[in-house]
Amino acid sequence: MATLQAIRSKAGILVSIAIGLALLAFILTDLLTSGENVFGGRNQAVAKIEGESISLDKYQKLLDEYEDFQKLNSGEMNEEQTARLRENVWNELVQTIAMGKLYEAAGITVTPEEVFDITAGNNINPTVRQMFTNPQTQIFDKNAVINFLKNKANDPQANFYWSFMEKQLISERLFTKYSALVKKSIYCTDNYAQFEAKANAKEVDFAFVGVPYTTIADSLVKVSDSEISKRYNSNKELYKSEATRDIEYVCFEVKPTEADRIATQEYIAKQKEAFGNPETNAFEYVQKNAENPVGERFVRKDQLAANLQDFVSGAEINDVFGPYLEGEQYKLTRLVAIAQRPDSVKARHILVRNNEKLADSLFARLTSGGDDFAALARRYSEDQGSAINGGDLGWFVDGMMVPEFNEACFNNAKGAIVKIQSQFGTHIINVQDKGVPTTKYSLATIDRTIDYSSKTYQDRFNEASVFAAKCTSAEAFEAAVDTFDIMKRFGRNIKASDYNVGALKQARELVHWVYDAKVGRTSPLFTIGDNFVVAVLTKIQDKGYVPVSEVSTAIAFELRNEKKADELLAAINGKDLAAIAAEYKQTVDTAQNIAFSAYNVPGAGLEPALVGKANVAAKGSVETVKGNNGVYAIQVVDEKSEEAQVSAAKTAYQQMNYGIESQIMRNARNNAEVEDYRIKFF
């Protein structure tokens, strides 16, 4: 286990690879060969991806495997982290199956010999190299890999960990091969490079006048239903949509009342006498009674909040300040001690774990004189980070170390050698130097957050229940909103995989209801965080094409502007800029040093067509172009060109390959045929 722990501590890169890339292919071998029955027991499908049916049982095992691996690296996960991990695993599952089809078509595989080569051979994967690099020498230790592989069978956790990693490394290798194949297929021709080079070497200065589409009233431009339908049908792929739902909802938030605030203040006030009693150990009291207990530490006056600075200025030891309000907490603060202490100390140490006899021997040798502290630290200290430097920890500020270690360093004289215990083991400390002492204060604080009471919770629940009882229909929901004078909120484009709805976190129960309801149906009362929620389903969008009726307004806007553009272009053609500006009450603007690669034009905004026209227009002539926000008349007044660097343009084009990996993955996932049934189970 010690070896596994050492590996886990250095496996950060692998974790990000495992969760961030499409590296699940080999984990899914069994997953893709079972679960054909959509309705049968544990074999019922949670999805169908690229024709492959994914059973609930196999999918759950995959989720469990990823969760177990994540827990090995970073401990237990909260509900939000688990939901995020599950969504990542789903995305990678889709991506991996889609990529698997591409690997198969390209004939790409990874042999056992390659696996050995990247884990213990001559071409070690960077992740493996990092994990088995000696922290002292910074040299990769191949023998450590081999020893780990020989012994992992004796440790179930280590065996699982390595098995999981090996699958990731194989999948990464597959993807590396495929992306390299794609990169090699991309080539920039000399003609294209020359065109790009000339375009990049040229900049233009031009004057222009913009005539907005709003110049012509919408009412004067007719767009027929047949025109809208024709545009819709010719661009139907633009209106493809996932399955989504829209809702309207209200939140009865449970939050503290004035009575709750007063109760919190009174609770803290009652602690004052016992907390301030000189016989009471202040920091033990803090540990038992504070919501956010902080151990003892000394701070300068200028490090305190203004109210506490005023308090310590005239306070005596054991005086208590408060109750006082800080944010959403009431607090009491007791002055425990005043001392002259330096801000920082320089020290070195030797750490010995589970060997008191060795610790006593080393301490005796160092206090009797003659032994070299640094040499003993390098040989015996189990704090490997400092051992290589002779145990030297450098300078550190007051409160930075664990309490026992901190106090030993700050309370002992320069040159002292002391032995203390901490949670890490036995420390033999040499205080090497100390900063200039200043007046510092030790303060103990107990706190209590203003929170709602059970009565407040029950009152809000009763109010929300009355509201929910009135909501028997969408119309009744609207009426209840008015009666209760409560703000209505909107949840739009809710996907079946969503865990959050608007500002509501962990609203999975609401999402389940949304996908089981009909339009106009009102929900039961949901408890989501500190909110009671009632919703009404307002729209169902099934997977497929958005109906033309829902996008007709946007299409009509687009068609109307095109007709306006034709009319305006016809009206301004043949006129000079000044005449156009006067006729349409616009100004003649200028733009300087505009290259072909630009998108924005000062004074016009995002207008790539204007940029393109300016870079190909003849100098001195007035030309027109249709833009995003209106039509433009332009006149190029100056052209500046440097020598075209064709080779540089070609190199730049080839460098586009560097981002192709993410594009390959994104395209594979987006183009996959997916039927997602997870909403039935999760």
pLDDT in tens, 59-99: 888 888 888 888 877 778 887 788 888 888 888 888 888 89
Indicate whether 13 pLDDT > 60: no
pLDDT at 197: 74
pLDDT at 80: 79
CA atoms within 13 A on the CB side of 619: 7
Q: Considering the chain, what percentage of its residues have pLDDT values greater than 70? A: 91
Q: pTM for the complete prediction?
A: 0.66
Question: Would you state the pLDDT for residue 428?
Answer: 96
Residue 126's pLDDT band (boundaries 50, 70, 90)? Answer: confident
Cis previous bond, 256, omega within 30? no
Q: Does residue 682 carry a pLDDT above 90?
A: no
Q: In degrees, to the nearest 5, what angle opens at C-alpha 301 toward C-alphas 295 and 302? A: 110
| Least confident among 159-163, 263-267, 598-602 | 159-163
**Highest-confidence segment of 13-22, 108-117, 132-141:** 108-117
pLDDT at 31: 40
**What's the angle, vertex CA 402, arms to CA 399 and CA 407, rounded to 5?**
65
What band does 137 get if pLDDT is binned at 50, 70 and 90? low
Q: Residue 135: what pLDDT?
A: 64
The residue with tokens 């049908």 is: 233
Distance CA 168, CA 424 (A): 34
**Stretch among 221-230, 526-535, 597-606 having the lowest mean pLDDT:** 597-606
Q: Which of 197, 211, 207, 208 is nearest to 596 (CA)?
A: 197
Average pLDDT over residues 426-438: 95
Query: pLDDT tier at 120 (50, 70, 90 boundaries)?
Result: confident
Pick the range with the lowest mean pLDDT from 101-105, 189-193, 437-441, 642-646. Answer: 642-646
Q: Mind listing the pLDDT tens digit for each residue in 287-301?
A: 999 999 988 889 999
Each residue's pLDDT tens digit, 443-477 = 999 999 999 999 999 999 999 999 999 999 999 99
Task: Say yes or no to pLDDT of 205 above 60.
Answer: yes
d(CA 174, CA 21): 12
| pLDDT value of residue 654 | 59
The average confidence (pLDDT) of the chain is 87
C-alpha span between 414 and 468 (Å, rounded): 71
Element (H, E) at 652: helix 646-655
Using 50, 70 and 90 to split pLDDT, how confident is the model at 284? very high
pLDDT of residue 143 exceeding 50? yes
Nearest to 563 by CA among 320, 216, 233: 216
123 pLDDT higher than 70:
yes
Residues ≥6 apart with Cβ < 8 Å to 115: 166, 169, 170
Q: How confident is the model at residue 673 (pLDDT cuts 50, 70, 90)?
A: confident
Residues 6 or more apart in contact with residue 456 via CB below 8 angstroms? 254, 255, 256, 257, 259, 260
Task: For residue range 26-62, list pLDDT tens digits in order.
Answer: 344 344 434 333 334 445 888 999 988 988 888 888 8
